[in-house]
Amino acid sequence: MNLIDGKLVASEIRKEIAEKIADAKTRYGKSFRLTVIIAGNDPASEIYVRNKAKACEEVGIESETVRLPKDVAQTEISRIIKEKVSDPRVDGILIQLPLPEHLDADKLLALIPAEKDVDGFSDGNVAKLTRGDSDALLSCTPHGIIKLLDYYGIPLAGKRAVVIGRSNIVGKPMAFLLLGRDCTVTICHSKTKDLKEITKTADVIVCAVGKKHILTADMVKDGAVVVDAGINRVDGKIYGDADFENVSKVASYITPVPGGVGPMTITMLLYNTYTAGIRKLKYE
Q: What is the DSSP string of 5-20?
A: -HHHHHHHHHHHHHHH
Taking a C-beta distance cutoff of 8 angstroms, is the pair 45, 33 a contact? no
Annotated active-site residue in 91, 117, 119, 243: 119
Taking a C-beta distance cutoff of 8 angstroms, is the pair 126, 138 a contact? no
Binder of ligand NAP out of 51, 190, 201, 216 (CB under 6 A)? 190
Of residues 122-161, those binding ligand NAP (CB under 6 A):
141
Of residues 253-272, those binding ligand NAP (CB under 6 A):
261-262, 265
Binder of ligand NAP out of 45, 78, 167, 246 (CB under 6 A)? 167
Give backbone dihedrals phi and psi of 230, rounded to 5 degrees, phi first: -65, 140
Instruction: Select from 37-45, 74-82, 164-172, 218-226 the region that touches ligand NAP (CB under 6 A).
Output: 164-172
Catalytic annotation present for 119: yes
Q: How far is the CB of 233 from ligand NAP (least distance, A)?
A: 9
**Sign of the alpha-carbon dihedral angle for 83, 78, 272, 33:** positive
Annotated active-site residue in 20, 84, 91, 96: 96
Question: Which residues make Cβ contacts (< 8 Å) with residue 162, sequence separation at least 6?
Answer: 185, 186, 187, 188, 198, 199, 201, 202, 204, 205, 206
Give, as one character, the DSSP assignment of residue 90: -
Count residues binding ligand NAP (CB under 6 A): 26
Catalytic annotation present for 74: no
Can you tell me the distance from the alpha carbon of 93 to that of 268, in angstroms, rounded to the nearest whole number? 14
Q: How far is the CB of 71 from ligand NAP (least distance, A)?
A: 25
Q: How far is the CB of 162 from ligand NAP (least distance, A)?
A: 10
The pairing of strands 62-68 and 33-39 is parallel
**Nearest residue to 255 (alpha-carbon basis) of 130, 111, 146:** 146
Query: Site mask, ligand NAP, residues 105-124, x = CB under 6 A?
Result: --------------------
Catalytic annotation present for 52: yes
Query: Site mask, ligand NAP, residues 206-245, x = CB under 6 A?
Result: --xxxx--x--------------xxxx-------------
Please, what's the b/e burial string for 182-194 (b: 16 or more CB within 10 A of its CB; e: otherwise)?
ebebbbbeeeeee
- Name the residue type at position 65: T
- Decide if residue 45 touches ligand NAP (CB under 6 A): no
- Name the residue type at position 126: V
Q: How far is the CB of 104 from ligand NAP (least distance, A)?
A: 18
Instruction: Select from 52-60, 76-84, 92-100, 183-191 the region that touches ligand NAP (CB under 6 A).
Output: 183-191
Q: How far is the CB of 3 from ligand NAP (least distance, A)?
A: 16
Question: Which residues make Cβ contacts (< 8 Å) with residue 68, sequence separation at least 6?
Answer: 37, 38, 39, 40, 76, 77, 80
Which residues are catalytic, by number?
52, 96, 119
Give the residues lining the site for ligand NAP (CB under 6 A): 141, 164-167, 169-171, 188-192, 195, 208-211, 214, 229-232, 261-262, 265
